Chain A
Amino acid sequence: MKVSKKDMENVAVLSRLSIPEAEAAQYTSQLDAFLAYVENLKSVPTDSVKPTTYALPVQNVFREDVVKPSLEREAALANAPLREDGYFKVPRILEE
């Protein structure tokens, strides 16, 4: 196996996911099988190839900087899990 359980757990932390112990082996082996599959790309010579991020050649789309109406605060907050005084409310961020 190329991918260890620790690798899988590291990428879970980056993803803000917690993989329970009972599922760890499965997620690890699936990630490993996937990475083994995509190894075939290594055989493609790409030294002189430029990467493509968007299929169509669209670049630098400009517009005039004019003020337009945007979503009302009440509508923007309507789906908030928790709110207070017109703000989104979250649990503690800083250590006490």
Chain B
Amino acid sequence: MKLYDQPAHVLHDMLVNKEITATELTQAVLARMDAVEDEVGAYLTQTRDTALQQAAQTDAKIARGEAIAFLEGIPGALKDNICTKGVKTTCASKILEHFVPPYNAAVVEKLQAANPVLLGKTNMDEFAMGGSTENSAYHPTHNPWNTECVPGGSSGGSAAAVAAGMAIWALGSDTGGSIRQPASFCGVVGMKPTYGRVSRYGLVAYASSLDQIGPLTRDVTDCAHLLNVIAGHDAMDSTSSAAAVPDYTKALVQDVKGLKIGLPKEYFVKGMDADVEKAIRTAIEQFRVLGAEIIDISLPHTEYAISTYYLIAPAEAATNLERYDGVSYGERIDGVDIMEMMTNTRTQKFGAEVKRRIMIGNYALSAGYYDAYYLKALKVRTLIQQDYAKAFETVDVIVAPTAPTPAFKIGSMISDPLQMYLQDVCTVPLNLAGLPGISVPCGYSNQHMPIGLQIIGKPLAEETLLRTAYTYEQSQSFHKEMAVLGGKQA
């Protein structure tokens, strides 16, 4: 048995039963990184020394006979847009190449209270803008299932690290699908919680009304455990929900009898990959066998979701990214006056996709176009949200593909930004409506690339999502298969 292939809940039990030490486990994952990171490129920063110190602390605690929390001694990784005090946080951008945050994100504080082993910061599309991790200013990340393919994005480094055995768990962020789509492409579990369920304090802002942090894990059980650690109200994020946090592991029950599952016809889009459609239809049949009731539903404004998202998110991004002006932090390229300094800095240090989105956003917000673009998008956002509210009057959850295709080849879409945006058709509507969604592995393409099933819930219905996902997961074995990398085996 390879330790780096196991889910956190198995490893936790082994630590408690003294079958392994946290140091052995951490060394096994670090050795796996030595063996395959060159092929995958999941990390931007590795924190190996502190990782081994954290592991040693857990071992000392176990030796003293003290109880350990679930994540204690279990190695994981954080997307590089989550601020870590004293550890570089670049957002995969040249403009933050040397940025060392003076404070921790709220989720990092919560994690540290649970004493995990932190292995480092993972690669992403620059400022989380993209769906392939090719927009990283440093290097692309390769899909562990086929290194010629993208891992998805923007949390591609986190998903690839978990899929390749270079982290047992990871955190990502999801603005339009950036946790769920890479989870789908890499064959792992990824959840975007309800907007406000997890504090955004210390998450570098892309589109503030859509961003949400969430877990990427080997299975649904680990997802529930990780959500327990990171969920909850935070006074530092005034948009965070004050709703009480349940014990999400209580939702890990195999029971979907009588559960009403909505099947939205608009999510089976033209151009959808045949293998994806087949895998999703097979999963739906499985739910029927497990006792769920399948109900055809319509979400009629789905076809407008991409346009709506790609006006709102860039408008918010244009505003959020004004702070990178070479004044208080980040890089600076000098100029004769402040205007030239700012323009030089932003021109030389932002990548092409970031520039495109800032310009789209400023165009949509500018005088004369505001009503036609930005305000119009906010109104259609209301209609998209109402579609879901209406559907949830008759169903408990909605099931759909996570992405219309399996992972595509690196370089195959990068020259056509619009084509890349269309990849987000099944994921962006949830962010617009603030709803939770989870992607679980549900099969493979004929090239043996993973396919993800997306389960969508009502606001704050993470427990229903976890129960539905867990019941499905336990009825098959996709979550047990790991990517096989061609390189040196650890």
CB B321 to nearest CB in A, in angstroms, measures 9
Complex CA distance for A17 and B435, rounded to whole angstroms: 35
The verdict on B459 contacting chain A, using a C-beta distance below 8 Å, is yes
CB B318 to nearest CB in A, in angstroms, measures 7
Given the known A-B contacts A78-B100, A81-B326, A91-B337, are A56 and B459 also in contact in the complex, defined by CB atoms under 8 Å?
A: yes
Of B42-50, B53-61, B177-185, B357-365, the one contacting chain A is B357-365
User: CB-defined interface of A25-63 with B at 8 Å, one 1/0 digit per residue?
Assistant: 001001101110110111010100111111110100101
Complex CA distance for A40 and B196, rounded to whole angstroms: 30
Q: Would B196 and A34 count as touching, CB distance under 8 A? A: no
Interface of B: prevailing SS: helix
Can you show 28 pairs from A to B with CB atoms below 8 A apart? A7-B363, A14-B362, A15-B318, A16-B339, A16-B342, A16-B343, A17-B347, A19-B347, A27-B356, A30-B356, A31-B356, A31-B360, A34-B417, A37-B307, A37-B418, A38-B311, A42-B372, A44-B379, A46-B376, A50-B379, A52-B379, A54-B239, A56-B459, A58-B239, A76-B102, A79-B329, A81-B326, A81-B331
Q: Would A81 and B196 count as touching, CB distance under 8 A? A: no
CB A24 to nearest CB in B, in angstroms, measures 12
Q: Would A41 and B376 count as touching, CB distance under 8 A? A: yes
Q: Would A92 and B380 count as touching, CB distance under 8 A? A: no
The verdict on B490 contacting chain A, using a C-beta distance below 8 Å, is no
The verdict on B486 contacting chain A, using a C-beta distance below 8 Å, is no
Interface of A: prevailing SS: loop
Interfacial chain B residues near A61, Cβ < 8 Å: 238
Complex CA distance for A42 and B373, rounded to whole angstroms: 9
User: CB-defined interface of B331-342 with A at 8 Å, one 1/0 digit per residue?
Assistant: 110111111111
Interfacial chain A residues near B355, Cβ < 8 Å: 15, 17, 19, 27
Q: Would A40 and B304 count as touching, CB distance under 8 A? A: yes
Contact check: which of A30, A82, A92 meets B336 at CB < 8 Å?
Answer: A92
Q: Which residues of B contact A (CB under 8 A)?
A: 98-100, 102-103, 194-196, 209, 235, 238-239, 241, 301, 303-304, 306-308, 310-311, 318, 325-332, 334-344, 346-347, 350, 355-356, 358-360, 362-363, 366, 372-373, 375-383, 385, 417-418, 431-435, 459
Q: Would A40 and B382 count as touching, CB distance under 8 A? A: no
Interfacial chain B residues near A27, Cβ < 8 Å: 355-356, 359
Interfacial chain A residues near B311, Cβ < 8 Å: 38, 41
**Known contacts A78-B102, A91-B337, then 17 further A-B pairs from the complex at CB < 8 Å, ordered by chain A residue:** A8-B359, A31-B359, A37-B306, A40-B307, A41-B311, A41-B377, A44-B380, A46-B380, A49-B383, A51-B381, A63-B235, A78-B100, A79-B328, A80-B327, A81-B330, A90-B327, A91-B338
Contact check: which of B194, B334, B363 meets A11 at CB < 8 Å?
Answer: B363
Given the known A-B contacts A17-B359, A41-B308, A80-B328, are A30 and B417 also in contact in the complex, defined by CB atoms under 8 Å?
A: yes
Contact check: which of B301, B332, B343, B434 meets A56 at CB < 8 Å?
Answer: B434
CB A9 to nearest CB in B, in angstroms, measures 10
Complex CA distance for A27 and B339, rounded to whole angstroms: 22
User: CB-defined interface of A67-85 with B at 8 Å, one 1/0 digit per residue?
Assistant: 0000100011011111000
Complex CA distance for A64 and B375, rounded to whole angstroms: 34
Q: Which of B306, B326, B432 has the most CB of A within 10 A?
A: B326
Interface size on A, residues (CB 8 A): 47
**Residue of B at shortest CB range from A46?**
B379
Contact check: which of B347, B375, B434 meets A51 at CB < 8 Å?
Answer: B375
Q: Would A55 and B347 count as touching, CB distance under 8 A? A: no
Complex CA distance for A95 and B342, rounded to whole angstroms: 17
Complex CA distance for A7 and B367, rounded to whole angstroms: 13
Complex CA distance for A51 and B235, rounded to whole angstroms: 26
Complex CA distance for A18 and B125, rounded to whole angstroms: 22
Complex CA distance for A17 and B459, rounded to whole angstroms: 39
Complex CA distance for A46 and B304, rounded to whole angstroms: 13
Complex CA distance for A93 and B235, rounded to whole angstroms: 37
Complex CA distance for A33 and B356, rounded to whole angstroms: 12
Interfacial chain A residues near B346, Cβ < 8 Å: 15-17
**Residue of A at shortest CB range from B325?**
A16
Interfacial chain A residues near B382, Cβ < 8 Å: 49-52
Which 8 residue pairs spanning A and B have beta carbons closest together?
Answer: A55-B434, A51-B378, A79-B329, A81-B332, A75-B102, A46-B379, A38-B307, A61-B238
Interfacial chain B residues near A14, Cβ < 8 Å: 362, 366
Given the known A-B contacts A46-B383, A82-B332, A91-B341, are A56 and B360 also in contact in the complex, defined by CB atoms under 8 Å?
A: no
Complex CA distance for A17 and B358, rounded to whole angstroms: 9
Complex CA distance for A71 and B104, rounded to whole angstroms: 12
Given the known A-B contacts A50-B379, A53-B378, are A18 and B196 also in contact in the complex, defined by CB atoms under 8 Å?
A: no
Contact check: which of A30, A44, A52, A53 meets B304 at CB < 8 Å?
Answer: A44
Complex CA distance for A42 and B311, rounded to whole angstroms: 13
